[in-house]
């Protein structure tokens, strides 16, 4: 009986120690493999993040370039032509030196051209720095945008907001304004609605902007797919601006005649 | 002495001799060592001195040298405890290690009061194994959690921790039950001492040597 007990203790130690050895080896191998895998994942994630940031930067630069081209085109096509006409009018005045009636007509024509060019310059300025937004804040700026869009498109646009103003940095207000303007332009151009309603409210320090319309709807996934293949900058600009604002933008079809675009973002970064 | 006894004695000698490996690496590669590794270097020197003393006293005088080993257990625990205190300084309150160190000294004192200084493997050794195994597992947890090292195999901390885990977790069962084996059969005791303990002791010393090598290269 005694001998059996001794063998059992020796066996217990040997087998137990072997078990512990295997366990320790497994723990160390696990630590090494896990660490290696986690580091690889971390590297992949930072690589993806870097590539995403680069994409975002490229898109921002592309949008900025597009805006510059738009301003250049406006200046060249509108102001440039008017200035050429005015130059021509000056030559005409010289030619008609002895004809006061003709000169009066040319001057009156030139005045109209100058008024028109002043209006174009104002329009360009409004596009770059919307004066109501800059002076009176985001809510009033949005109200003014709705009014202008309603006049230019003939659409019925209703604007609702719980607040008269929201506490946001000017730069964020301007970015959100441009994003909303781009979304509204797209809705007017592609969804062909008869009615648009905009609701703005602040909840838990987050601004919610809802655009409801009765035109043809689209989902966020479709927008993302279209942005990938589209050569235009409209959709890309919407997605890039929303990312730069760290805003969540959601396109959804609520019913047969109702679609919604929801923009949600923090009031501060 | 039978062939078997000779073989086991040689294995035991190898175990003691392995303490020279980390010391040699340190002597060959030593330049400057940061605070984190100072306790480990002290441990390597102390370990070598104790192994040398034990071989000399056993071979030449066949003396009971257990008192030195018991004293070394406390020194060893305090040095390794200090190493972990330095490592965990960023994550845990260093006073925890101070308290654990004092508690261990107290346990060792009670142990030697109860069992005497000439007995083999008192319960303080088992407690030492349990605490150091826990430290080592917690360190691995922090390594995984914080991902602070690019290549773990190049880190001295990894090798020191693996050495501690292998030696103290590996010998836990051995230290717990060896007294029962010794009471019944001295040959079996010698066999286990020369195989199980030798294996983990050599692994421990080799891993410590690698850690010193890596620390120097860094």
pLDDT by residue (tens digit) across A32-64? 898 888 888 888 999 999 998 888 888 888 888
Q: Which residues on chain A are in Cβ contact (under 8 Å) with B191?
A: 10
pLDDT value, residue A7: 54
Pairing mode, strands A206-213 and A248-255: unpaired
pLDDT in tens, B19-38: 889 888 888 876 665 666 78
- Binned at pLDDT 50, 70 and 90, residue B121 comes out as low
**Interface contact B191, partner A, CB < 8 A:** yes
Residue of A nearest to B153 (CA): A32
Residue B218 has pLDDT above 80, yes or no: no
CA B37 to chain centroid: 15
Give the confidence band of B205 by pLDDT, cuts at 50, 70, 90: very high
Question: Is the CB of A13 inside 8 Å of chain B's CB atoms?
Answer: yes
The answer to pTM > 0.80 is: no
Between A and B, how many CB-CB pairs are < 8 A?
Answer: 68
Q: Does A9 touch chain B (CB under 8 A)?
A: yes
Task: Give the pLDDT band (50/70/90) at residue B212.
Answer: confident
Quote the pLDDT of residue A1: 43
CB contact under 8 A, B178 and A13: yes
Q: What are the b/e assignments for B24-52, b being 16+ CB within 10 Å?
A: ebbeeeeeebeebbebbbebbeebbebbe
Q: What is the pLDDT of residue B28?
A: 81
* Residue among B180, B186, B195 with most chain A CBs within 10 A, to mutate: B180
> Which residues of chain B are within 8 Å of residue A32 when distances are taken between CB atoms?
152-153
CA angle A125/A186/A246 to nearest 5° reads 80
3-state secondary structure A52-112: HHHHHHHHHHHHHHHHHHHHHHHHHHHHHHHHHHHHHHHHHHHHCCCCHHHHHHHHHHHHH
Chain B residues near residue A11 by CB distance under 8 angstroms: none
- Closest residue to A16, CB basis, from B149, B173, B180: B173
**CB contact B113 to A (< 8 Å):** no
Contacts of A18 in chain B (CB under 8 A): none
pLDDT at B41: 87
Tell me if A142 sits within 8 A of A159, measured CB to CB.
Answer: yes
Q: What is the pLDDT along chain A (269 residues), one digit of tens a residue?
A: 444 554 577 888 888 888 989 999 999 999 889 888 888 888 899 999 999 888 888 888 888 888 888 888 888 888 899 999 999 999 998 888 888 888 999 999 999 999 999 998 888 888 888 888 888 889 999 999 999 889 888 888 999 998 888 888 888 888 899 899 989 998 998 888 989 999 999 988 899 999 999 988 888 888 888 887 877 777 888 888 888 888 999 999 988 888 999 999 988 86
Give bridge partners of residue A261 from the DSSP assignment. Answer: A211, A251
Q: How far is B89 from chain A (nearest CA, A)?
A: 21
Closest CA–CA distance from residue A9 to any residue of chain B (Å): 6
Confidence of residue B182 (pLDDT cuts 50, 70, 90): confident
Residues of chain A with C-beta less than 8 angstroms from the C-beta of B152: 31-32, 35-36
Supply B93's token pair.
């309150």
Residue A20: list chain B partners with CB under 8 A.
Answer: 169-170, 172-173
Which residues of chain B does A24 touch, with a Cβ-Cβ cutoff of 8 Å? 165-166, 169-170
Chain B residues closer than 8 Å to A6 by CB: 181, 184-185, 188
All residues at 6 or more sequence positions from B10 whose CB lies less than 8 Å from its CB, including other chains: none
B170 to chain A: which residues are within 8 Å by CB?
17, 20-21, 24
Q: Reply yes or no on whether the pLDDT at B191 is more than 80.
A: yes
Look at residue A204 in the predicted model and tell me its pLDDT: 87
**Facing residue for B170 by CB, picked from A5, A21, A31:** A21
What is the total residue count of chain B? 218
What pLDDT, on the 0 to 100 scale, is given for residue A6?
46
Query: So what's the pLDDT on residue B34?
Result: 64
What pLDDT is stored for residue A58 in this prediction? 86
The whole-angstrom distance between A57's CA and the closest CA on chain B is 30
Determine the pLDDT at residue A2: 46
Q: Tell me the shortest Cα–Cα distance from B202 to chain A, in angstroms.
A: 14
> How far B151 CA sits from the closest chain A CA (Å)?
8
Q: Is B182 on the interface with A (CB under 8 A)?
A: no
Residue A169 half-sphere exposure, CB side, CA atoms within 13 Å? 8
- Measured in whole angstroms, the distance separating CA B87 from the mean position of its chain's CA atoms is 18
Would you say A113 and A84 are in contact if contact means Cβ atoms under 8 Å apart? Answer: no
Q: According to the model, what pLDDT value does residue B60 have? A: 64
Residue of chain A whose Cα is closest to the Cα of B186: A6
**Residue range B189-210: mean pLDDT, rounded:** 89
Q: What is the pLDDT of residue A183?
A: 92
pLDDT for the residue A190 = 87
Q: How far is B178 from chain A (nearest CA, A)?
A: 8
Find where tokens 């960023």 sit.
B90
């Amino acid at each position: 009986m005694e001998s059996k007990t001794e063998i059992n203790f020796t066996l217990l130690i040997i087998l137990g120690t072997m078990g512990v050895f295997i366990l320790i080896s497994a723990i160390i191998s696990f630590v090494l493999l896990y660490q290696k895998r986690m580091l690889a994942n971390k590297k992949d994630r930072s690589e993806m993040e870097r590539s995403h940031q680069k994409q975002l930067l490229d898109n921002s630069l592309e949008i900025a370039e597009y805006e510059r081209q738009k301003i250049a085109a406006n200046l060249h096509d509108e102001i440039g032509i008017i200035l050429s006409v005015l130059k021509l009018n000056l030559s005409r005045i010289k030619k008609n030196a002895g004809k006061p009636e003709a000169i009066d007509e040319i001057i009156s024509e030139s005045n109209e051209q100058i008024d028109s060019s002043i209006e174009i310059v104002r329009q360009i300025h409004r596009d770059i720095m919307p004066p109501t937004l800059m002076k009176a804040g985001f809510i009033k700026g949005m109200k003014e945008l709705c009014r202008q869009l309603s006049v230019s498109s003939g659409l019925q646009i209703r604007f609702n907001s719980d607040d008269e103003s929201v506490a946001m940095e000017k730069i964020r207000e301007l970015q959100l304004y441009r994003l909303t303007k781009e979304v509204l332009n797209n809705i007017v151009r592609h969804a062909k609605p008869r009615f648009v309603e905009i609701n703005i409210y602040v909840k838990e320090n987050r601004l919610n902007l809802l655009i409801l319309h009765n035109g043809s709807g689209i989902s966020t996934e479709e927008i993302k797919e279209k942005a990938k293949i589209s050569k235009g900058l409209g959709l890309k600009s919407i997605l890039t601006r929303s990312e730069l604002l760290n805003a969540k933008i959601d396109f959804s079809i609520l019913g047969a005649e109702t679609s919604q675009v929801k923009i949600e973002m923090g009031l501060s970064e | 002495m039978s062939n078997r006894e000779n073989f086991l004695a040689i294995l035991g000698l190898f175990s003691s001799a392995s303490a020279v490996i980390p010391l040699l690496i340190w002597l060959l590669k030593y330049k400057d060592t940061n605070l984190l590794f100072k306790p480990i270097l002290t441990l390597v020197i102390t370990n070598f001195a104790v192994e040398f003393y034990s071989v000399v006293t056993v071979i030449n005088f066949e003396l009971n040298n257990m008192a030195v080993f018991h004293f070394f257990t406390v020194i060893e625990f305090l040095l390794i405890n200090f190493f972990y205190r330095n490592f965990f300084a960023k994550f845990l309150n260093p006073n925890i290690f101070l308290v654990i160190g004092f508690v261990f000294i107290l346990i060792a004192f009670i142990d030697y009061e109860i069992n005497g200084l000439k007995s083999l493997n008192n319960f303080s050794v088992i407690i030492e194994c349990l605490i150091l195994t826990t430290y080592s597992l917690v360190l691995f947890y922090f390594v995984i959690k914080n991902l602070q090292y690019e290549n773990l195999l190049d880190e001295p901390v990894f090798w020191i921790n693996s050495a501690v885990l292998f030696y103290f977790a590996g010998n836990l069962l051995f230290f717990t039950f060896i007294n029962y084996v010794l009471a019944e059969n001295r040959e079996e005791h010698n066999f286990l001492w020369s195989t199980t303990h030798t294996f983990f002791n050599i692994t421990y010393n080799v891993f410590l040597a690698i850690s010193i090598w890596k620390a120097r290269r860094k």
